[in-house]
Amino acid sequence: MEQVKLPNFFTIAATKGQRLTAYSIGFGMMLLTIVIFPFGGHQLPEIKPFLPAFIALVSFIDSVTSYLFYRQYRVTGSVPLLVLAGTFLYNGLITIPHLLTFPNVFTESGLLGAGGQTAVWFWVAWHTGFPAGILLYLLSVKYSKGPVLHSRRRITGVCTIIGIVLLVAALTICFTRFHEALPAIISGSGYNAIISSGIGPMIWLLLILSIIGLLVIGRMQTILDVWLTLAVSVFFFDVTLTLLGGSRYSIGWYLARINSFISASVILSIFLYEMNRLYALLSEQHQRYQSLFMHNSDPVYSVDKNRLLKSVNNAAIKLLGYEEDELVHQNAGLFVAPGHKEESLINFQKAMTGKPQNYDSILLHKNGSLIDVNITTIPIIIEGEVTGTFGIVKDITLNKKSEQKLKEANSILKELSLNDGLTKLANRRHLDQYLNDQWTICSRNGQSISIILLDIDDFKKFNDSYGHLEGDQCLIKVAKKVADLTGSSGLAARFGGEEMCVVLPGKNAEFIVDFGEKLRAGIQELNIRHDDSNEKVVTVSVGIGSAQSCFHTSVNELIDQADQSLYAAKKAGKNCVRSNSISIMDN
């Protein structure tokens, strides 16, 4: 399934105003650092609650920021966002043992069996880990090959979290249980030894590289670029005031803690700001969606992955005749007519694979009536996973009725185009088509084909005596008898005027002659009164033409042969059958 590329807070382009705000804050903090620097070593009273409150707040802020980055990673699969989530999680965790082991906060030497160098080494791990994480983030931005597959995001995220926790645990064990082996980088409460040991300059270098990397790679284009650069810059001021401030609880030391708080708060603040802004946009979009959904003229519904209805719009309620609470949380298959349930379920299952479906079905109204519909089923994809489907329904009941009427009309037109309007026998067009088709088949199979012509005797006198209306009734009765006797053996057609014919493919000579006699006798037995005929009832003369092999004759020759036989029957006194020159019966 193709993954949808989703936006997140920090792929949004930064505005000019946001850049200006970040520059202003950064410049202000730099200016404040420069102004305070000459007085940084001035000692202030030790405020006992300050450090615990500060560390707890920074740890909480970094942990929340880490969680928000992690959620963004789960949505987008972005490796850089996962790296940032791990970086801020590391910051949030490493500050906890730093606080617990800080001298004179909980105990004189600190908890966890801390020594005199333990707390400062946690500070080094904290302030080294953050720029290291930023550099790793920049490398992932430059070299990552794309988002993590949705199926692997959870396990990748969990492994990252476990790795960070194990790293912090390992550092805690190292700095507490083996504190005596730690190099001394703080003397009393002063930080000069950190600088002279080379650790301080290393931290400065990592931070400077991080800032340069953010400016070069990110170029302050997105919200993340802007505010992450500010956070690292303020962190740089924190380290500078701490190392050059002289000692703990000096003006520089307190201001450095404030810088740490600002550095930790920058990203969370912009997260909250963007969340509030996007919530307002989401609220507006939700209202637009509700207007589109509820006021759509077509019935629309949504179901979850278990096919339970989650929502229905007003048009769907009206279509099915139920109240909303009678539909929601019910299985959608309950409202599908028997005979269509399986097809409906199959289309739902196909849509759950991420492929939209369109099909015709029949729904059940509350009153039991059937509703012809066309349904388009669209998968609902959240974080790369199909969680349900939308359905858009078109009521095609009127269309179906129109189609049925059109089919009936076409059937009538077809019948009219193939049958004679008066006698309902096949017309001449139908006869010619049938005769040619059967001629081809009989030629291919080496079969015989015959045509029987019959003409009502003295029909002009019948019309003159009884009128044309009675003449039409006579034709209808004779045609019905011919059609009934022919059945499925061949095709009965009106040849023209009072002449009719029967085409009989694949029949032998004996059958043809016998059938011609049945026609003659059957029509006479109708006993249609005709005082001007010899028999005083309507009779017919019958002529038969047969082709035993279609290879040596043609359709026209076959018709001509039957016509000659009919002429011979008329000449012989009418009311008789002639096949070629053979008289079958004279009456």
Q: Per-residue pLDDT tens, the chain, 587 aa: give them.
A: 444 444 555 577 778 888 888 888 888 888 887 887 777 667 777 777 777 888 888 889 999 999 999 988 988 888 999 999 999 999 999 999 988 988 877 787 778 888 888 888 998 999 999 999 999 999 998 888 888 888 888 999 999 999 999 999 999 999 998 888 888 887 765 677 788 888 989 999 999 999 999 888 877 788 888 888 888 888 888 888 777 766 666 676 777 778 778 888 888 888 888 777 777 777 777 788 777 777 888 899 999 999 999 999 999 999 999 999 999 999 999 999 999 999 999 999 999 999 999 999 999 999 999 999 999 999 998 767 899 999 999 988 777 777 777 787 777 777 767 888 899 899 988 999 999 899 888 888 888 899 999 999 999 999 999 999 999 999 999 999 999 999 999 999 999 889 999 999 988 888 999 999 999 999 999 999 999 888 899 999 999 998 876 555 788 888 999 999 999 999 999 999 998 733 333 44
Instruction: Tell me how far apart the alpha carbons of residues 298 and 393 are, in angstroms, rounded to a whole number.
Output: 6
Predicted pLDDT of residue 184: 83
Return the pLDDT at 587: 40
Cα separation, 448 vs 428, in Å, equals: 22
The pLDDT value recorded for residue 585 is: 38
The whole-number pLDDT of residue 41 equals 65
pLDDT value of position 40: 63
Give all strands of the β-sheet with 385-395 in edge-to-edge order.
Answer: 309-312, 300-304, 385-395, 370-382, 357-364
Q: Dihedral of CA 264/266/271/276: which sign?
A: positive
Q: Which numeric CATH code is attached to 16-280?
A: 1.20.1070
Token pair for 43:
């000692």
**Cα 509 from Cα 427, distance rounded (Å):** 26
Widest pairwise Cα distance in the chain: 149
Share of the chain above pLDDT 70, in %: 93
Architecture of domain 297-399: 2-Layer Sandwich (3.30)
| pLDDT score for 586 | 40
* CB-based contact 345:267 (threshold 8 Å): no
Predicted local distance difference test score (pLDDT) of residue 254 = 76
498 catalytic? Reply is yes
pLDDT, residue 582, reads 35
Structure tokens at 57: 């707040």
Q: How far is Cα 437 from Cα 428, in angstroms, rounded to an integer?
A: 14
Q: Where are the domains of the chain?
A: 16-280, 297-399, 419-581
User: What pLDDT is stored for residue 190 in this prediction?
Assistant: 65
Predicted local distance difference test score (pLDDT) of residue 335: 93
Span 149-162, pLDDT tens digits:
888 889 999 999 99
Contact 462, 474 (CB under 8 A): yes
pLDDT in tens, 139-150: 998 888 888 888
Among 46, 403, 470, 498, the active-site one is 498
Question: What is the enclosing helix (H) or strand (E) of 381?
Answer: strand 370-382
User: Taking the C-alpha atoms of 202, 208, 210 and 212 in order, what is their torsion angle to the nearest 10 degrees?
Assistant: -150
Domain 419-581, architecture per CATH: 2-Layer Sandwich (3.30)
Closest by CA to 249, choosing from 118, 149, 403, 102, is: 102
Predicted local confidence at residue 2, as pLDDT: 42
The per-residue DSSP string of 109-156 comes to: S-STT--TTHHHHHHHHHHHHHHHHHHHHHHHHHH--SPPPHHHHHHH
pLDDT reported for residue 52: 84
Backbone angles phi, psi at 505, to 5 degrees: -85, 145
